[in-house]
Every structure is written in C-alpha cells, then in structure tokens.
Structure 1
Amino acid sequence: MRLRLTALGALAATLLGLALPGPAQARPQNPPGARTAWAACPEAPEDPALRCGRMTVPVDWADPDGPALDLALVRRAAADPSRRIGVLFHGQGALGGSGVDAVLHNPQLFSAGTSSRFDLVAMDVRGTGRSNPVLCDAAAYPGGVPAVPATAAQFARAVEAHRAFTNTCRSRTGPVFDHMDSRSVARDMDAVRAALGERQLSFYGDSFGTLTGQAYAELFPTRLRTAVWESNLDHTVDLSRWVADRSAAVEDSFRGFADWCDRTPSCPQRAGGTARWYDRLHAKAERGELTATVPGAPPFTLDGYLLSTQVSFFFFQRRWAELSDCLTQVDADRTGCLFGGGEQGGAATALPPGTLHHPQSAAFCADHRMPVNGVADVLRLREVALANAPHTGLTAVAWGAVTDCLGMTGETRNPQRPLRLGGQAPTVLLTNSRHDPSMPHRWAERVTAQAFPKARLLSYEGWGHGSYWISDCVRAQVDRHLARPQAWTPPWTSCPGPAEP
C-alpha cells in the first residue's frame, strides 16, 4: 500500500519536519494578522539569515471566531539589506509539498541577484507538512482498486473504497480537511503579509502554486507588488479537457525523447525506432510480464499504467539519457531505477502509527469539480486519454483527476472559473516550457488571455516542467521583472531551447 503511493509519485507516507502539529484548535492562540515571533530554525540554527515562526489563522475565513490552525513559516533575509526591495513569497508547486523545506534546504532557490534584494518567505500551506497536516488511516488506502474500473460493480467498489479512505482523513485531520482550497491559502498568505508588517508582497509560484497566485491577485490586487507564475494551471478546464491536455503533454514529451533517441547513436532503443521499442515494452507490462522490486516492499506487477507514470517523471527535468539507461534495465526486468528519483527534501518525522500524510486529494478536489458519474464516464475518459497518448497511454499525471475525487463528499469550495484581474492588479509575468509534461503550454496561453492586459507570457522553447534554472534567458527576464516590474515587457516573447544533437 505505501509502496503504491510512492510508486505513483505521491510520497504520501512521508511527513517533513521536526514536530507533528495537532489538529485545528477550538480558538486561535493569537488574533489573525498579529505579528509573528521569529526564532532560529531548529533545522539550521547556525544560519543567521534563516528564521522560522508560526502564526494562527482561521480554518474558515468566513468564520474568524471558529476553529483555527497554526501555519509554519520560514524567512530567509535578503543577502544585501542595503538593496532590499521587500518580501518575495514563494508558492510551493507540488500538492502536499513543504514550502518551508523548499526555503530551508535550498539556498539557491533563486539567483544571487534576486536573493540579495528580497526576503524570501514561504509557508507549509494548510493541511501539509507542519501546518495541521492531513492524516489518513494507512489500512484504508484504496491501493487494491483498479486504476480503470471497467464494470459497474468495480466502479461502485472504487467509489466506496475512496469514500471510506476519505472519511478516515476527515476524522483524523479535523475541519482543515474541508478548507484546503487555494482562495483560503491566499487569505493565509495575506495574513502572513500583515504579520510581517509589509504593505505589499511580491509572489513567485510554480505549477499548482500558480493557482494560489491567481487567487491572491484577484482577492488582494493592491497588496500585490508583482508576480511571476511558472508552469501555469488553467482553472477553467473540466475533467475531459484535463485528461486530454495532460495526456497529450506527456505524449509530447515522450515524442521529444523518442526523437532524441532515434538520432543519438548511443541510445540503445533507437534500433527499429524508439517509439516502437517502447510500445513493445509497454505491451509486456500490460501482459503482467514485468515485476517491480523496491526495497522494503514485496514484489508487485509493473503494469502499463505504473510504467508510463514512472517514465513520465523523467520528463519533468528532461532526464532523457537517464531514462534510456533505465528502460534498458526495465526490459531486463530490473525495475528499481524507476523508483529511485523521489525527492524527500528534509528530515522525515515518524507519523502516528498506522497513518499516512495524504493532502493531495483534499487540496485538488477543493479547487476542482471533477464529476465521474459511472463506469460509462470512466471508459469514455479512458478513450480520451488513449486518443491523446497512443504510446504512453494512461498516466497518473492525467488520470489522477479521474480517481482522486471519487467518494469525496465535501464541498468544492473553489470550482473552476475564468481568471479576472481588475485594473488595480499589477502586471504579472507567466513563464511556461513549450513542452511541459505536466502543465501544457496551451494552459499558459489561456491564462494569459484571461488576465490580459495584465499578463505577459514568456515561453521557453524547450522541454521540462519549469524553466527558471534551465534557461539563462528565462532566469534573467524573471529576475528583471521581479526587480523592476514597471519595465516594459512584450505581451508574448520567448527564450530558445537547448541546441539538440
């Protein structure tokens, strides 16, 4: 069960941090917006630039006198106080990822120029890490449910299994479980701004963190100095479009890998065509002929869904040569290389016995209404995925949206709708790889159109999820925008991708 979570990239059995906070309290420990006391971070007490803190916010911002939760915060001071511009808030991109750990353990999160001019601030968003984490019963995790329920009976069992698991999460976590939406996170962020005594903040968010950035720009336009959104989420896509667009994005990255392999003499899959070679390997997986072995877990069958899901993770950082080596091993039934790339980032803490840290579904389903009304919907969506990804087929990158909200009974607090930025909002810079396997470039185009004339789109004509540290050109333009957002930037521009062999 834990292995299945790890294999699908969730890493849900790991909670980062030194202490495990309790569930939401009945009353706030301090009024929302009160100043926060900062102290040396336990993980880096010798670093004078780092300070950690906590502050209390309402679980439900519409009920400020109701239950409250403690947010974990971190701040890295600007390296050159004489040139300090203000606060740059980092919006963590991975659902369930720790913003605190991103700042604590990565002093090169931004360039030296940007780090010298901004205090970098982040939080573990509600329901994650050290901020009232979503905890669930490990024994109830629906690991045995098929990814594609093919009959009415299988679908009913899948819904019931997901509902039972979700109910354990809600009961163990408390009221935060039903208040994980991005608009609530944006209100938390503004409370942090007020606690810091800052009139405005700048914001940098990537991937799912761009949705928090969009919400903040709508809710608090005059408190936002400027923003950069990297690898953008379009909050208008319905379930069919989500499956189609993300399946096509993974397939596009696979075709990039296959084209590279076909013209690279050292790539062993090129003989006879890389795509045909992979089709044969995928067929072996579908027939149950591959066995995955991971330390600490019994062997299990590596099916086509799990194979392509793990392969897709190599595309996030364009690890094409590493993927080629790994596929050779997988073809020989040595599959360990598929499961060795999960980034933990920080010191793991023991969870309460029998629990998992699993905030992904609660967060995703609070921001997305993704109805699946029966097995006919499942089979239709499967055809949508396969039509857009003839080689890679189903992957969790796209298909997770079909299953993540099954059995979820809570309200979708922030359902999909177009972004609308008013005249008081600052100019926002969007960046996106042309060939992003997770957040398709067309999503960035749509968000730019929704936010125009307040949005500018910078496209990286290369591969991967995120481009700030891949492209010197992107990094220079992002840094310039953060430092001087009033400088004119063309509505649409691009940076070149790498020179290919």
Structure 2
Amino acid sequence: MCRVPPLSPRTSPTISWKNCINESDPPNLQCGSIQVPVDYGKPHCEHFNLTFARIKTNGISCLGSLVYNPGGPGGAGSDVVFAHVLKGISVWSAELLAQYDLIGLDPRGTGLSNPMKCDPTIWNQRVSMTPQNEEEFNQLVENNKAFSESCRNLTGPIFDFMDTASAAKDMDMVRRALQEDKLNFLGQSYDSQLGSRYAGLFPQNIGRMVLDGITDVSLPGTAQLLIKSNTYESTLNEFFKWCNTTIQCALINQDAPGIFDKLIGTANTNPIPAPGCSPLSEHPCRSDATSEEILTEVQLGLIGFNGTVSFTGWPALSLGILEASKGNATLLSRPIITTPTSSDFSFLGVACFDCKATSISHIDLLLKRQMTSTLSPHTLGATQTYQAQAQCTGWAAPATNTNHALKPKKIAQLPELLLVNSLWDPSTSIVWANLLREQLLSARLVLRKGAGHTSYFAAGETSRAMDGFLLRGELPEQGTTFKS
C-alpha cells in the first residue's frame, strides 16, 4: 500500500536549494528540487526529485520567476543556464535577467530530474529505420523493444510516466513551490507543446507565456510526418539558395542540390567512409555514414543558421556536405553515444508516450516514405518525426498522452499569449504555428523572415519583441513579420 501523503491543491512543495556544481558556483547560480508524484493518478505513491537551475536576478524591480526550457523533447533547461553562467555564452538579454529570476527547468526524465537511463550499446547498433521487408521490420521492432526495456530497467518507475501532460502538472508544482500566483514561461521547440498543454490544464495560472518554435501534435501521425518533412525540405531549399549567394558556403558556384542528391543516392547503397571518426575519440562517431544517418545530421545542421549554443552554423554544414560528396563523411557521421543518460534517449521517452506508433508492418513505413519522397524529394521524409514513428514501434510501454485536444471552456479563460516561428525552420513548421494559433484563441502569432530553429537566440527584432512582452506586456500586432 502507498503511504506517501498526497500534496493537496492547498499545499505547496518545499524547494531544497543547493549549489549546482560545487561551492565555487557564482553567487547568482542555484539549483533547486522539489518532490512531485511519479503518477498523478496516484499522488500518494512514489515521488521523485524534479530539479531546476536558477539565475538570481541582480535587478531592483523583479517580475518574479520566468520558467524556461529549450524543448527537444528531452532538453534540459539547466544545461542552457550553465552555458550562460559558467561558460559565458550569452543566451538571455541583460534586461530580462535584471527583471526575472530565470528558472531553467529539467522536465521529468531529463537532465537533473531523474534522467532516463538506457543501454547505449543497444542504441549504437546499426538497425535501419527504413526496413525494406518484413524481416528488417522485425529486426527494428526487436531492437526497439530491447532498447526500451533497458530504459525501463535502468530508469525505474518514471519511465512509464514521461508524457507531456505529467510534465505540465510538474510545472504547476514548480509555480506553487516558487510561491508565484502566475506562471511566466518561455518555451522553445517541443516545449511549445508543454506550454500549450499547461494552458489547457491551468489557464487561470498563466501570467506571460511565449512559445518560440511551435510544435502541434494534435493531428494524426501521417499528417505530422507530412508537415515535418515539408518544413525540413523547404529549409534545405533555402540553404541551397543561400549557397548561391555567399562565399561562406563551401558549395558556392556549384550545383548544391545535385551534389546533395547524388551524395544521398550513393550513401543509400554504399555508406560514405568517415576516416576522422573513432569510437575512442573525445567525440566518438561511426566509421562511415548511411544516407538515413546523413539526412538526420543535415536536419540538425540546418537548426543553427549562424550557429547557436548547441549547433554550428550553415557554413560548417556546407563543408560537411562538400567533404562527404568527395568521400569523407566525418563531419556528417552519426555520433556514438557512450553515456546512459543521453538526451536522445529522453527524446524517445517523451515522444513514445505523446504519440501512438501505428505501423504494424514494413508496408506501413514504406507507404509513409513513398509519400514523403514524392513531396520532399531531397530529404525523403527522414525527420525526427519519422524517427519517432519508427523507433516507438515495439516500445516497452504504450502511449498514454495521445488526446491533445484543448477544451474550449479552458481555452476561453486564457490571457493573451505570444507564439513565434521562423518561416524556414527545419524542425518546427509555420503550419503548426498557424494550427496552434487557431486553437489558442487569445494567442498572437508573429513570424521571423529567416531560417533556423527558434528565434529568441537570434537576438534580433523577434527576440526583442519577445522581451517586450515578457517585460512590459507589449504584444506585436497579429501576423507581424520581423526581418531578424
């Protein structure tokens, strides 16, 4: 019988504050944790530590706390906080940090919050996500099953409750623990899904909310795949146009689309050697690269147009494509994971609980690839969405958070929100941004006329508009398109 006292709506969890790294941490850096239920359906049973990193404001007029997460799913807000404070990488504006305590949240199963642990040796096995027959499909399913069972065994009870609905309830526990009447939130990428789910559950608790790089998983899986494939393809086409206009592109004055297509075609039958890779190096990677692996790495390479905290920019991507076309895929080789707590693992941990895997044979996946290959001929549908649909087949636990409909009575209670998307984002589509705006009736949608994933870190007009809303409640006109 479970004996842990439940947390009632009238009580708040107590935050345990401590140093994040050691006693030499800067005075404005703290890490806090609270006890929250593993299963909100049984709040009197097992709890775990939900953890977050805080940058204390040095300002005079504090607006309270601003909760932040970079998305993923599986991204840890604490990682971005550490990059800003400990590595000197400027992430948030000085004005924002002068007015808010910045809370870098690690959702359940990520970062410092009971991270999902899995066997990397199973993950590193090369099993194709594009099976050509039933035998290859069964190999994929068996690998997925073995990998997810390793995750369940190593992670513990939280493995079965990594869905976004539970994470949204965790976030309200954080609000209560911080003794904030309202939640102020900046969510990027997949955490726009966390924000919209929170909005659907706790509309009365929202202060100022900005969702940057919109994901909407309310549509069926095939439609999700089509939208994701299209946004990857359109961004890659922008990359090709950019290559024709700047000496920063290693492919300038060359047929970049033709070179790319030939590379993918070649690697489909003969993996491209990656002589600079070694499983024993500081950043281990495979000794060669297949077409599906190259397509995955290229999508990641398109994320940072000018380079971000985590990704190099388009010039580096162009060099990787050029070298791979000449027989050296070192820059586009898939990393070998050596840690049991990779964010790639928690990505699947969330995705497989939020979206139901519907493929029961190799024909199901083949038909999806035929669809995306026809409509996205360069990228062939090799997206993170397809990865999830393929790798969640055979997962050790069924999806539990598949009803993403927002209730009209709840939505009617929402204050004004700000939604942001770039026109050419390889990961989050302007289609999703428009779909979410139609569901969140009080939301304003603004766009950045540019490429790359999310907009706050671009530090341009769009970022300043987000600051304007978070700091002063200033909302741009609906449909405003910023140049930077």
TM above 0.5, yes or no, is yes
2:205 maps to what in 1? 223
Matched, 1:167 2:154: no
- Where do residues 28-47 of structure 1 align in structure 2 (5 Å cutoff)? 33-43=12-22, 45-47=24-26
**Identity, % of aligned positions:** 28
Question: Which of these residues, 427, 439, 461, is aligned with residue 438 of structure 1?
Answer: 427
Report the Cα distance in structure 2 between the residues aligned to 1:253 and 1:357, rounded to whole angstroms: 23
Cα distance change on mapping 1:325 and 1:87 into 2, 3 Å: same
- Where do residues 419-434 of structure 1 align in structure 2 (5 Å cutoff)? 419-420=406-407, 421-434=410-423
Report the Cα distance in structure 2 between the residues aligned to 1:372 and 1:444, rounded to whole angstroms: 27
Question: Which of these residues, 48, 52, 77, is aligned with residue 27 of structure 2?
Answer: 48
Question: Which of these residues, 283, 288, 300, is aligned with residue 301 of structure 1?
Answer: 288
Cα distance change on mapping 1:212 and 1:43 into 2, 3 Å: farther
The letter of the residue matching 1:332 is K
Cα distance change on mapping 1:461 and 1:198 into 2, 3 Å: same
Question: Which of these residues, 71, 75, 78, is aligned with residue 93 of structure 1?
Answer: 71
Contact persistence 2:106–2:112 (CA under 8 A): yes
Report the Cα distance in structure 2 between the residues aligned to 1:299 and 1:425, rounded to whole angstroms: 48
User: What secondary structure, in the 3-state scheme, does the structure 1 residue paired with 2:397 have?
Assistant: coil
- Where do residues 465-484 of structure 1 align in structure 2 (5 Å cutoff)? 465-484=453-472
Matched, 1:310 2:297: yes
Cα distance change on mapping 1:299 and 1:468 into 2, 3 Å: closer
Report the Cα distance in structure 2 between the residues aligned to 1:74 and 1:30, rounded to whole angstroms: 25
Render the CA deviation track for 1:123-160: whole Å, top value 9, x for unaligned: 32111222222112334337232221111222222212
Contact persistence 1:368–1:414 (CA under 8 A): yes
Contact persistence 1:249–1:436 (CA under 8 A): yes
1:330 maps to what in 2? 324
- Where do residues 280-429 of structure 1 align in structure 2 (5 Å cutoff)? 280-288=262-270, 290-293=272-275, 294-295=277-278, 296=280, 300-318=287-305, 319-339=313-333, 358-420=345-407, 421-429=410-418
Render the CA deviation track for 1:90-116: whole Å, top value 9, x for unaligned: 023122222122212214331111111
Render the CA deviation track for 1:195-214: whole Å, top value 9, x for unaligned: 11111120000011111111
Shift of 1:327: 2.1
Report the Cα distance in structure 1 between the residues aligned to 2:141 and 2:105, rounded to whole angstroms: 33
Contact persistence 2:215–2:428 (CA under 8 A): yes
Report the Cα distance in structure 2 between the residues aligned to 1:258 and 1:322, rounded to whole angstroms: 14
Cα distance change on mapping 1:230 and 1:44 into 2, 3 Å: farther
User: What secondary structure, in the 3-state scheme, does the structure 2 residue paired with 1:136 have?
Assistant: coil
The letter of the residue matching 1:235 is V
The letter of the residue matching 2:181 is R
Cα distance change on mapping 1:88 and 1:341 into 2, 3 Å: farther
Report the Cα distance in structure 2 between the residues aligned to 1:301 and 1:27, rounded to whole angstroms: 53
Contact persistence 2:273–2:287 (CA under 8 A): yes
User: What secondary structure, in the 3-state scheme, does the structure 2 residue paired with 1:88 have?
Assistant: strand
1:65 maps to what in 2? 44
Question: Which of these residues, 213, 217, 228, is aligned with residue 246 of structure 1?
Answer: 228
Contact persistence 2:287–2:333 (CA under 8 A): no
1:20 maps to what in 2? none
Cα distance change on mapping 1:289 and 1:215 into 2, 3 Å: closer
1:263 maps to what in 2? 245
Shift of 1:425: 1.4
TM-score by length of 1: 0.85
Contact persistence 1:326–1:338 (CA under 8 A): yes
Question: Which of these residues, 438, 442, 450, is aligned with residue 449 of structure 1?
Answer: 438
Shift of 1:221: 1.5
Following TM superposition, the consecutive aligned residue runs of length 4 or more in structure 1 with deviations greater than 6 angstroms are none
Report the Cα distance in structure 2 between the residues aligned to 1:371 and 1:163, rounded to whole angstroms: 15
1:84 maps to what in 2? 62
Greater relative contact order (Cα 8 A, min sep 6): structure 1 or 2? 1
Shift of 1:272: 5.4
Unpaired runs of 5+ residues, structure 1, are 1-25
Report the Cα distance in structure 2 between the residues aligned to 1:54 and 1:194, rounded to whole angstroms: 13
The letter of the residue matching 2:304 is Q
Report the Cα distance in structure 2 between the residues aligned to 1:112 and 1:44, rounded to whole angstroms: 25
Report the Cα distance in structure 2 between the residues aligned to 1:475 and 1:339, rounded to whole angstroms: 33
- Where do residues 81-160 of structure 1 align in structure 2 (5 Å cutoff)? 82-107=60-85, 108-141=90-123, 143-160=125-142
Unpaired runs of 5+ residues, structure 2, are 306-312
1:18 maps to what in 2? none
1:8 maps to what in 2? none
Report the Cα distance in structure 1 between the residues aligned to 2:224 and 2:99, rounded to whole angstroms: 38
Contact persistence 1:89–1:122 (CA under 8 A): yes
- Give the alignment's Cα RMSD to 1 decimal: 2.6
Shift of 1:412: 2.0
Report the Cα distance in structure 2 between the residues aligned to 1:279 and 1:134, rounded to whole angstroms: 36
TM-score by length of 2: 0.88
The letter of the residue matching 2:41 is A
Render the CA deviation track for 1:266-311: whole Å, top value 9, x for unaligned: 7553445221122222222123151124132685432211112212
Contact persistence 1:234–1:444 (CA under 8 A): yes
Render the CA deviation track for 1:49-104: whole Å, top value 9, x for unaligned: 11112211110111111111111222111220x21111100023122222122212
Shift of 1:164: 2.1
Report the Cα distance in structure 2 between the residues aligned to 1:66 and 1:332, rounded to whole angstroms: 58
Shift of 1:424: 2.2
Render the CA deviation track for 1:228-265: whole Å, top value 9, x for unaligned: 00101112122211221111111111111111222346
